[in-house]
Protein backbone atom coordinates (compact mmCIF):
# COMPACT_ATOMS: atom_id res chain seq x y z
CA UNK A 1 0.00 0.00 0.00
CA UNK A 2 2.44 2.61 1.16
CA UNK A 3 5.27 1.01 -0.76
CA UNK A 4 5.64 3.86 -3.21
CA UNK A 5 6.18 6.47 -0.53
CA UNK A 6 8.42 4.19 1.50
CA UNK A 7 10.58 3.49 -1.50
CA UNK A 8 10.93 7.16 -2.22
CA UNK A 9 11.81 7.89 1.36
CA UNK A 10 14.40 5.11 1.35
CA UNK A 11 16.04 6.55 -1.69
CA UNK A 12 16.16 9.94 0.00
CA UNK A 13 17.60 8.36 3.12
CA UNK A 14 20.20 6.57 1.05
CA UNK A 15 21.59 9.90 0.03
CA UNK A 16 21.59 11.12 3.59
CA UNK A 17 23.27 8.03 5.02
CA UNK A 18 26.55 9.12 3.48
CA UNK A 19 27.15 11.05 6.63
CA UNK A 20 26.52 8.03 8.87
CA UNK A 21 29.91 6.74 9.96
CA UNK A 22 29.04 3.03 9.85
CA UNK A 23 32.23 1.98 8.10
CA UNK A 24 35.01 4.49 8.12
CA UNK A 25 36.61 3.54 4.88
CA UNK A 26 38.82 6.00 3.09
CA UNK A 27 36.11 6.60 0.52
CA UNK A 28 33.45 7.26 3.17
CA UNK A 29 35.65 9.73 4.96
CA UNK A 30 36.46 11.68 1.85
CA UNK A 31 32.79 11.73 0.95
CA UNK A 32 31.96 13.05 4.41
CA UNK A 33 34.57 15.73 3.95
CA UNK A 34 33.14 16.62 0.57
CA UNK A 35 29.65 16.79 2.05
CA UNK A 36 30.82 19.21 4.73
CA UNK A 37 32.62 21.24 2.12
CA UNK A 38 29.48 21.56 0.05
CA UNK A 39 27.41 22.37 3.12
CA UNK A 40 29.83 24.96 4.46
CA UNK A 41 28.71 27.99 2.40
CA UNK A 42 25.11 27.41 3.41
CA UNK A 43 26.01 26.89 7.07
CA UNK A 44 28.10 30.05 7.11
CA UNK A 45 25.34 32.01 5.44
CA UNK A 46 22.77 30.66 7.90
CA UNK A 47 25.02 31.52 10.82
CA UNK A 48 25.33 35.04 9.47
CA UNK A 49 21.72 35.80 8.62
CA UNK A 50 19.95 33.71 11.27
CA UNK A 51 22.44 32.70 13.97
CA UNK A 52 24.11 36.05 14.55
CA UNK A 53 20.92 38.18 14.87
CA UNK A 54 19.43 35.54 17.16
CA UNK A 55 22.51 35.49 19.36
CA UNK A 56 22.61 39.32 19.40
CA UNK A 57 18.95 39.55 20.37
CA UNK A 58 19.44 37.10 23.22
CA UNK A 59 22.50 39.06 24.36
CA UNK A 60 20.61 42.39 24.24
CA UNK A 61 17.82 40.87 26.31
CA UNK A 62 20.25 40.76 29.25
CA UNK A 63 21.24 44.42 28.86
CA UNK A 64 19.61 47.82 29.33
CA UNK A 65 20.30 48.78 25.69
CA UNK A 66 18.46 51.77 24.27
CA UNK A 67 17.85 52.35 20.58
CA UNK A 68 19.19 55.90 20.65
CA UNK A 69 22.59 54.72 21.88
CA UNK A 70 23.28 51.01 21.54
CA UNK A 71 26.95 51.23 22.48
CA UNK A 72 26.32 52.16 26.12
CA UNK A 73 24.40 48.96 26.92
CA UNK A 74 25.20 47.42 30.31
CA UNK A 75 24.62 43.85 31.44
CA UNK A 76 21.73 43.68 33.89
CA UNK A 77 21.03 39.96 34.10
CA UNK A 78 17.43 38.82 34.14
CA UNK A 79 15.94 42.21 35.03
CA UNK A 80 14.23 42.60 31.65
CA UNK A 81 12.47 39.31 32.21
CA UNK A 82 11.54 39.60 35.85
CA UNK A 83 12.73 41.84 38.64
CA UNK A 84 11.49 42.67 42.11
CA UNK A 85 11.75 46.30 43.15
CA UNK A 86 10.08 48.11 46.06
CA UNK A 87 7.29 45.59 46.48
CA UNK A 88 6.45 45.45 42.77
CA UNK A 89 7.35 43.03 40.03
CA UNK A 90 8.81 44.44 36.82
CA UNK A 91 9.83 42.86 33.54
CA UNK A 92 8.17 41.25 30.55
CA UNK A 93 6.92 38.26 32.53
CA UNK A 94 5.16 40.57 35.01
CA UNK A 95 3.53 42.65 32.29
CA UNK A 96 -0.17 41.95 31.77
CA UNK A 97 0.05 43.31 28.25
CA UNK A 98 2.62 40.70 27.32
CA UNK A 99 0.38 37.86 28.51
CA UNK A 100 -2.53 39.45 26.67
CA UNK A 101 -0.37 39.43 23.52
CA UNK A 102 0.58 35.80 24.10
CA UNK A 103 -3.07 34.86 24.48
CA UNK A 104 -4.05 36.82 21.35
CA UNK A 105 -1.32 35.15 19.32
CA UNK A 106 -2.21 31.64 20.48
CA UNK A 107 -5.89 32.25 19.82
CA UNK A 108 -5.12 33.60 16.37
CA UNK A 109 -2.75 30.75 15.52
CA UNK A 110 -5.00 27.91 16.61
CA UNK A 111 -8.14 29.26 14.95
CA UNK A 112 -6.55 30.40 11.70
CA UNK A 113 -4.40 27.30 11.20
CA UNK A 114 -7.36 25.00 11.89
CA UNK A 115 -9.57 26.77 9.37
CA UNK A 116 -6.77 26.95 6.83
CA UNK A 117 -6.07 23.22 7.16
CA UNK A 118 -9.69 22.23 6.64
CA UNK A 119 -10.26 24.65 3.76
CA UNK A 120 -6.88 23.80 2.24
CA UNK A 121 -7.74 20.12 2.33
CA UNK A 122 -11.05 20.74 0.56
CA UNK A 123 -9.44 22.94 -2.08
CA UNK A 124 -6.69 20.36 -2.62
CA UNK A 125 -9.23 17.54 -3.03
CA UNK A 126 -11.11 19.60 -5.60
CA UNK A 127 -7.96 20.47 -7.50
CA UNK A 128 -6.86 16.84 -7.41
CA UNK A 129 -9.93 15.75 -9.35
CA UNK A 130 -9.59 16.08 -13.09
CA UNK A 131 -11.86 18.61 -14.73
CA UNK A 132 -11.42 20.88 -17.74
CA UNK A 133 -9.38 24.00 -17.04
CA UNK A 134 -7.80 22.44 -13.96
CA UNK A 135 -4.35 23.97 -14.46
CA UNK A 136 -5.89 27.41 -14.83
CA UNK A 137 -7.81 27.05 -11.57
CA UNK A 138 -4.68 25.73 -9.83
CA UNK A 139 -2.81 28.86 -10.88
CA UNK A 140 -5.67 31.17 -10.00
CA UNK A 141 -5.99 29.73 -6.49
CA UNK A 142 -2.41 30.74 -5.76
CA UNK A 143 -3.01 34.46 -6.35
CA UNK A 144 -3.85 35.43 -2.75
CA UNK A 145 -0.67 33.78 -1.58
CA UNK A 146 1.44 35.55 -4.19
CA UNK A 147 0.28 39.03 -3.15
CA UNK A 148 2.59 40.59 -0.55
CA UNK A 149 0.95 40.63 2.89
CA UNK A 150 1.19 44.41 3.22
CA UNK A 151 -0.63 44.87 -0.06
CA UNK A 152 -3.37 42.41 0.76
CA UNK A 153 -3.77 43.88 4.25
CA UNK A 154 -4.18 47.38 2.82
CA UNK A 155 -6.54 46.07 0.14
CA UNK A 156 -8.68 44.33 2.72
CA UNK A 157 -8.67 47.33 5.01
CA UNK A 158 -10.36 49.30 2.22
CA UNK A 159 -12.77 46.47 1.47
CA UNK A 160 -13.59 46.28 5.19
CA UNK A 161 -13.90 50.05 5.62
CA UNK A 162 -17.01 50.76 7.66
CA UNK A 163 -18.28 53.60 5.46
CA UNK A 164 -17.14 52.92 1.89
CA UNK A 165 -16.16 49.23 2.15
CA UNK A 166 -17.42 46.76 -0.45
CA UNK A 167 -17.83 44.01 2.14
CA UNK A 168 -20.44 45.92 4.10
CA UNK A 169 -22.07 47.00 0.86
CA UNK A 170 -22.46 43.40 -0.26
CA UNK A 171 -23.66 42.12 3.12
CA UNK A 172 -26.16 44.97 3.34
CA UNK A 173 -27.29 44.22 -0.20
CA UNK A 174 -27.97 40.58 0.61
CA UNK A 175 -29.66 41.64 3.82
CA UNK A 176 -27.39 39.71 6.17
CA UNK A 177 -26.66 42.79 8.28
CA UNK A 178 -28.85 45.79 8.95
CA UNK A 179 -26.13 48.34 9.72
CA UNK A 180 -22.55 48.59 8.43
CA UNK A 181 -20.03 46.74 10.58
CA UNK A 182 -16.78 48.33 11.69
CA UNK A 183 -14.69 45.30 10.81
CA UNK A 184 -11.25 46.52 11.76
CA UNK A 185 -12.27 48.91 14.54
CA UNK A 186 -14.75 47.01 16.68
CA UNK A 187 -12.92 45.14 19.43
CA UNK A 188 -15.12 42.09 18.96
CA UNK A 189 -14.66 41.93 15.20
CA UNK A 190 -11.06 43.03 14.73
CA UNK A 191 -9.57 39.61 15.54
CA UNK A 192 -12.16 37.93 13.33
CA UNK A 193 -11.19 40.27 10.50
CA UNK A 194 -7.51 39.43 10.93
CA UNK A 195 -8.29 35.70 10.90
CA UNK A 196 -10.49 36.08 7.82
CA UNK A 197 -7.77 37.82 5.83
CA UNK A 198 -5.13 35.38 7.00
CA UNK A 199 -7.30 32.43 5.97
CA UNK A 200 -7.91 34.05 2.59
CA UNK A 201 -4.21 34.58 2.16
CA UNK A 202 -2.67 31.32 3.30
CA UNK A 203 -5.26 28.67 2.42
CA UNK A 204 -3.63 28.37 -1.05
CA UNK A 205 -0.33 27.52 0.64
CA UNK A 206 -1.95 24.70 2.60
CA UNK A 207 -3.82 23.54 -0.49
CA UNK A 208 -0.58 23.42 -2.46
CA UNK A 209 1.27 21.32 0.10
CA UNK A 210 -1.66 18.93 0.52
CA UNK A 211 -2.15 18.70 -3.23
CA UNK A 212 1.48 17.65 -3.59
CA UNK A 213 0.84 14.85 -1.10
CA UNK A 214 -2.36 13.81 -2.86
CA UNK A 215 -0.60 13.56 -6.20
CA UNK A 216 1.86 11.04 -4.76
CA UNK A 217 -0.85 8.65 -3.57
CA UNK A 218 -0.94 5.24 -5.29
CA UNK A 219 -4.05 4.64 -7.40
CA UNK A 220 -4.35 0.87 -6.74
CA UNK A 221 -6.04 1.10 -3.35
CA UNK A 222 -8.61 3.55 -4.75
CA UNK A 223 -9.36 1.07 -7.51
CA UNK A 224 -9.72 -1.71 -4.92
CA UNK A 225 -12.08 0.47 -2.90
CA UNK A 226 -14.15 1.22 -5.97
CA UNK A 227 -14.38 -2.48 -6.84
CA UNK A 228 -15.51 -3.22 -3.29
CA UNK A 229 -18.10 -0.44 -3.54
CA UNK A 230 -16.90 1.53 -0.51
CA UNK A 231 -18.51 4.93 0.06
CA UNK A 232 -16.18 7.81 -1.02
CA UNK A 233 -16.44 9.50 2.40
CA UNK A 234 -15.24 6.28 4.06
CA UNK A 235 -12.43 6.03 1.50
CA UNK A 236 -11.36 9.56 2.37
CA UNK A 237 -11.15 8.87 6.09
CA UNK A 238 -9.71 5.35 5.85
CA UNK A 239 -7.34 5.71 2.91
CA UNK A 240 -6.61 9.28 1.87
CA UNK A 241 -6.31 10.94 5.26
CA UNK A 242 -3.93 8.37 6.82
CA UNK A 243 -1.77 8.45 3.70
CA UNK A 244 -1.41 12.21 3.53
CA UNK A 245 -1.15 12.63 7.29
CA UNK A 246 2.65 13.04 7.40
CA UNK A 247 2.56 15.74 4.72
CA UNK A 248 -0.41 17.38 6.42
CA UNK A 249 1.38 17.50 9.77
CA UNK A 250 4.44 19.12 8.20
CA UNK A 251 2.23 21.66 6.41
CA UNK A 252 0.54 22.51 9.70
CA UNK A 253 3.94 23.03 11.35
CA UNK A 254 4.97 25.47 8.64
CA UNK A 255 1.79 27.44 9.06
CA UNK A 256 1.97 27.32 12.84
CA UNK A 257 5.50 28.71 12.84
CA UNK A 258 4.34 31.48 10.56
CA UNK A 259 1.16 32.22 12.48
CA UNK A 260 2.90 32.46 15.85
CA UNK A 261 5.04 35.33 14.63
CA UNK A 262 2.17 37.18 12.92
CA UNK A 263 2.95 40.86 12.59
CA UNK A 264 2.37 42.64 9.28
CA UNK A 265 -1.29 41.77 8.86
CA UNK A 266 -2.27 42.94 12.34
CA UNK A 267 -0.09 46.03 12.15
CA UNK A 268 -1.59 47.24 8.89
CA UNK A 269 -5.16 46.05 9.19
CA UNK A 270 -6.21 46.91 12.72
CA UNK A 271 -5.86 49.86 15.03
CA UNK A 272 -3.07 48.13 17.01
CA UNK A 273 -4.97 48.34 20.24
CA UNK A 274 -4.58 45.71 22.95
CA UNK A 275 -7.43 43.72 21.42
CA UNK A 276 -5.34 42.44 18.55
CA UNK A 277 -1.78 42.94 19.75
CA UNK A 278 0.36 39.88 18.98
CA UNK A 279 3.69 38.94 20.53
CA UNK A 280 5.59 40.38 17.57
CA UNK A 281 3.62 43.63 17.67
CA UNK A 282 4.40 43.89 21.39
CA UNK A 283 8.11 43.26 20.86
CA UNK A 284 8.30 45.76 18.00
CA UNK A 285 6.52 48.38 20.06
CA UNK A 286 9.03 48.03 22.88
CA UNK A 287 12.00 47.91 20.53
CA UNK A 288 11.12 50.70 18.14
CA UNK A 289 8.37 52.89 19.58
CA UNK A 290 9.71 52.88 23.12
CA UNK A 291 13.36 52.41 22.09
CA UNK A 292 13.96 49.87 24.88
CA UNK A 293 16.07 47.45 22.90
CA UNK A 294 16.88 45.41 26.01
CA UNK A 295 13.28 44.95 27.08
CA UNK A 296 12.09 44.40 23.52
CA UNK A 297 14.81 41.83 22.96
CA UNK A 298 13.64 40.01 26.08
CA UNK A 299 10.15 39.91 24.56
CA UNK A 300 11.60 38.68 21.25
CA UNK A 301 13.56 35.98 23.03
CA UNK A 302 10.42 34.87 24.86
CA UNK A 303 8.59 34.85 21.52
CA UNK A 304 11.35 32.63 20.14
CA UNK A 305 11.05 30.29 23.14
CA UNK A 306 7.25 30.19 22.88
CA UNK A 307 7.40 29.29 19.19
CA UNK A 308 10.03 26.65 19.97
CA UNK A 309 7.93 25.22 22.79
CA UNK A 310 4.81 25.05 20.60
CA UNK A 311 6.70 23.20 17.88
CA UNK A 312 8.28 20.73 20.32
CA UNK A 313 4.86 20.02 21.86
CA UNK A 314 3.31 19.61 18.44
CA UNK A 315 6.02 17.25 17.21
CA UNK A 316 5.91 15.18 20.39
CA UNK A 317 2.14 14.85 20.69
CA UNK A 318 1.43 14.81 16.96
CA UNK A 319 4.14 12.15 16.50
CA UNK A 320 5.34 14.00 13.44
CA UNK A 321 8.20 12.37 11.61
CA UNK A 322 10.12 14.19 8.95
CA UNK A 323 11.40 11.09 7.18
CA UNK A 324 8.06 10.59 5.50
CA UNK A 325 7.14 7.22 7.12
The residue ranges that bind another protein (CB under 8 A) are: 67-70, 88, 90, 161-164, 180-182, 184-187, 270-275, 285, 288-291
Cα separation values, 115 from 119, 120, 175, 315, Å: 6, 8, 26, 20
Nearest approach, Cβ of 263 to another protein (angstroms)? 13
Q: Which is nearer to another protein, 17 or 271 (CB)?
A: 271
Nearest approach, Cβ of 285 to another protein (angstroms)? 7
- Partners of 90 in the β-ladder: 83
Q: Which is nearer to another protein, 151 or 216 (CB)?
A: 151
Nearest approach, Cβ of 97 to another protein (angstroms)? 9
Nearest approach, Cβ of 40 to another protein (angstroms)? 31
Which residues does 290 contact at the CB level (< 8 Å), separation at least 6?
A: 296
Q: Which is nearer to another protein, 64 or 258 (CB)?
A: 64
Q: Which is nearer to another protein, 94 or 217 (CB)?
A: 94
CA dihedral of residues 124, 129, 132, 133 (deg, nearest 10): 20
Nearest approach, Cβ of 99 to another protein (angstroms)? 14
Which residues does 132 contact at the CB level (< 8 Å), separation at least 6?
A: none
Which residues does 324 contact at the CB level (< 8 Å), separation at least 6?
A: 5, 8, 9, 12, 246
Q: Which is nearer to another protein, 291 or 306 (CB)?
A: 291
> Residue 102: enclosing H or E segment and its boundaries?
helix 96-128
Report strand pairing: 88-90 vs 83-85: antiparallel
Amino acid sequence: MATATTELADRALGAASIAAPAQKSHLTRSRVRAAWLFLAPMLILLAMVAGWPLFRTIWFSFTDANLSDLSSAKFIGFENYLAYNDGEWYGVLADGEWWNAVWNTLKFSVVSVTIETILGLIVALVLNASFPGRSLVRAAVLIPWAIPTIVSAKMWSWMMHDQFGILNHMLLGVGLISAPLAWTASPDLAMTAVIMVDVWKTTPFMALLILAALQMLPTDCYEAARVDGIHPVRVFFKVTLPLIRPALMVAVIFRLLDALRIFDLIYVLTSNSKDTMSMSVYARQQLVDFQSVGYGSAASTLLFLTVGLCVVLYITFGRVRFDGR
